[in-house]
Amino acid sequence: MRDNNLLSKFDLSSIPPALHGVPQVAVSFNIDANSILNVSASDKTTGKSNRITITNDKGCLSKEEIECIVNKAEKYKAEDEAAHV
């Protein structure tokens, strides 16, 4: 957790109880050229969704730190996609 920075949080509520591994939640992230982070999550069973937009108005991370995070995210995305083929 030492490398994690809590930027914000949101809930995806009212998802019916299910066995471990059964709920299917799609989560997507994107960061635009202005370092604005958009996160959305939706439950594939119920269609319920939520989203949040996070701006870097407090200057918590430098541009270099953000670029490093984006590069790591792209690497892990490729690894995740390869694992699910």
Q: What is the DSSP string of 35-51?
A: --EEEEEEETTT--EEE
Statement: residue 59 has pLDDT above 80: no
What is the average per-residue pLDDT within 41-66?
83
80 confidence band (pLDDT: 50, 70, 90): confident
Average pLDDT over residues 1-15: 79
Q: Distance of CA 30 to CAs 16, 25, 36, 38, Å?
A: 27, 17, 8, 5
